[in-house]
């Protein structure tokens, strides 16, 4: 059985319509941040196992960026899917 993702704009879609673009948890440094802060942001990444949040792009659907919370280790269960712009506004509060 194919894995299904519930896009907030298009509804339930097969995972093959999406591209995973990486970890959604790093916070972008301020423009005037140090070179070390930018180096850490761009190049240094954790590789956690378990429940994670990632940026996904609905490439063959609405073409929106989404934040997907899922298990990357055992079950691959998807816990939530949020539009990335809404997620960024909520995170900024």
pLDDT of residue 88 exceeding 90, the answer is no
CATH of domain 4-27+35-92: 3.30.2270.10
- Percentage with pLDDT > 90 across the chain: 69
Q: What is the pTM of this model?
A: 0.82
Q: For residues 46 and 64, which has the higher predicted lDDT (pLDDT)?
A: 64
pLDDT digit string (tens) for 33-44? 999 999 999 999
CA dihedral of residues 75, 1, 62, 48 (deg, nearest 10): 20
The pLDDT, as a whole number, for residue 93 is: 72
52: Cβ–Cβ under 8 A, 6 or more apart, which residues? 23, 25, 69, 70, 71, 72
Query: Please, which pLDDT band fits residue 1 given cuts at 50, 70 and 90?
Result: very low
């Amino acid at each position: 059985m194919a894995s299904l993702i519930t896009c907030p704009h298009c509804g339930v879609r097969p995972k093959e319509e999406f591209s995973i673009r990486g970890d959604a948890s790093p916070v972008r440094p301020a423009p005037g941040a140090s070179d070390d802060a930018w180096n850490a942001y761009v190049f240094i990444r954790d590789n956690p196992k378990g429940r994670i949040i990632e940026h996904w792009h609905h490439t063959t659907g609405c073409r929106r960026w989404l934040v997907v919370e899922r298990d990357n280790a055992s079950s691959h269960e998807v816990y939530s899917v949020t539009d990335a712009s809404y997620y960024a506004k909520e995170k900024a509060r």
